[in-house]
Amino acid sequence: MKLSVLPGRTSAALAVSVATLLATASIAGAAPAPAAAAAPDIPLANVKAHLTQFQSIAAANGGNRAHGRAGYKASLDYVKAKLDAAGFTTTIQQFTSSGRTGYNLIADWPGGDTNQVVMAGSHLDSVSSGAGINDNGSGSAAVLETALAVSRAQYQPTKHLRFAWWGAEELGLVGSRYYVNNLSSANRAKISGYLNFDMIGSPNPGYFVYDDDPAIEKVFKDYYAGLGVATEIETEGDGRSDHAPFKNAGVPVGGIFTGASNTKSAAQAAKWGGTSGQAFDRCYHSSCDTTSNINDTALNRNSDAAAHAVWELSS
Ligand code: TRP
Ligand code: ZN
């Protein structure tokens, strides 16, 4: 409706009358309950800035961020400093694997019902052959930026939020398994969901959603449907990431993934673009998994999806 069809009423007058109407409605108790706050857009530039930092950390520490190497601890210190400055309560959990000390980083956002914990996590270690920017700087950066967005919004969800960065995933899900094994059964039962983000910016991306907890799966699927992006069920090695220990302990899990060494089919290239007959990530576990090994559109959509799921499932 154009204002010009309402002669004699300025837009200011119209605004005042609408405000009066709303005030009257709410006094009468007729106003609907406010909708849960929507997740903010996650700025791609912020996510990419974290990837640049991970790349620099690898470069300064022998070219990788692998378990037991200096680049891993430097990555953890980088993420922890950001979270501490943003008001999170951070905890470093230490473990030993292959004779070397490993670390998980856990960040709790104060508030919410601690009997209903929503967790989002990603592995922070790379393999020793490279910087691990898609695997898994991408998930680590998206989860970090989602946590920082929670702080910027001063989001106060109904449920309690906990973010995690796992060590030694590449040695066989060691850090996440250690965390789950060391939870009391009471504390395990308080986790209402665990969301995993491992490889979410593959250069020749697919849009895969884990086929685990149906409610979590639906939140991700609906998000992509809203963008008009087709999804498929994740099948490239179910159980090959840090959601597996949670799932095995009975925690509802979900997550998203853009593909590793599997090949994109012609049908997949038709719906997602990219190159058929080529791996989703040709640099998987290789030295070429650098900041050049990222599809910005996939990373942007998936970072926003992570924030959306965290908001939606914790409200
Ligand atoms: N981090 C996994 C690995 O190195 C990558 C991977 C393979 C994956 N398949 C997956 C991650 C399925 C999530 C879901 O083996
Ligand atoms: Zn990985």
pLDDT digits (tens, 9 = 90+) for 126-137: 999 999 999 999
Q: Is residue 271 part of a domain?
A: yes
Q: Is residue 10 part of a domain?
A: no
Does residue 241 have its Cβ closer than 6 Å to ligand 1? yes
Q: How far is the CA of 201 from the centre of ligand 2 (A)?
A: 12
Q: Which atom of ligand 1 is nearest to the CA of 199?
A: 11
Q: How far is the CA of 183 from the centre of ligand 2 (A)?
A: 23
Q: How far is the CA of 241 from the centre of ligand 1 (A)?
A: 5
Q: pLDDT confidence of 35, banded at 50, 70, 90? A: low
Q: Which pTM value belongs to this model?
A: 0.90
Q: Nearest bound ligand to CA 196?
A: 1
Q: Which atom of ligand 1 is nearest to the CA of 170?
A: 4
Does residue 281 have its Cβ closer than 6 Å to ligand 1? no
The catalytic site residues sit at: 169
Q: For residue 26, is pLDDT > 50? A: no
Q: Which atom of ligand 1 is nearest to the CA of 238?
A: 12
Q: Is residue 35 part of a domain?
A: no
Does residue 260 have its Cβ closer than 6 Å to ligand 1? yes
Q: What's the pLDDT at 227?
A: 97
Q: State how many domains the chain has.
A: 1
Q: Nearest bound ligand to CA 172?
A: 1
pLDDT digits (tens, 9 = 90+) for 56-95: 999 999 999 999 999 999 999 999 999 999 999 999 999 9
Q: How far is the CA of 279 from the centre of ligand 1 (A)?
A: 14
Q: pLDDT confidence of 23, banded at 50, 70, 90? A: very low
Q: Is residue 141 part of a domain?
A: yes
Domain with 58 in it: 42-314
Q: pLDDT confidence of 8, banded at 50, 70, 90? A: very low
Question: CA-to-CA distance for 305 and 196, rounded, in angstroms?
Answer: 12
Q: pLDDT confidence of 30, banded at 50, 70, 90? A: low
Question: What angle separates helix 139-153 from helix 296-314, to the nearest 10 degrees?
Answer: 50
Instruction: For residue 222, give the CATH number of its domain.
Output: 3.40.630.10
Q: Is residue 17 part of a domain?
A: no
Does residue 240 have its Cβ closer than 6 Å to ligand 1? yes
Q: Is residue 4 part of a domain?
A: no
Q: What's the pLDDT at 33?
A: 58
Q: Is residue 7 part of a domain?
A: no
Average pLDDT, the chain: 91
Does residue 234 have its Cβ closer than 6 Å to ligand 1? yes
Q: Is residue 18 part of a domain?
A: no
Does residue 253 have its Cβ closer than 6 Å to ligand 1? no
pLDDT digits (tens, 9 = 90+) for 213-239: 999 999 999 999 999 999 999 999 878
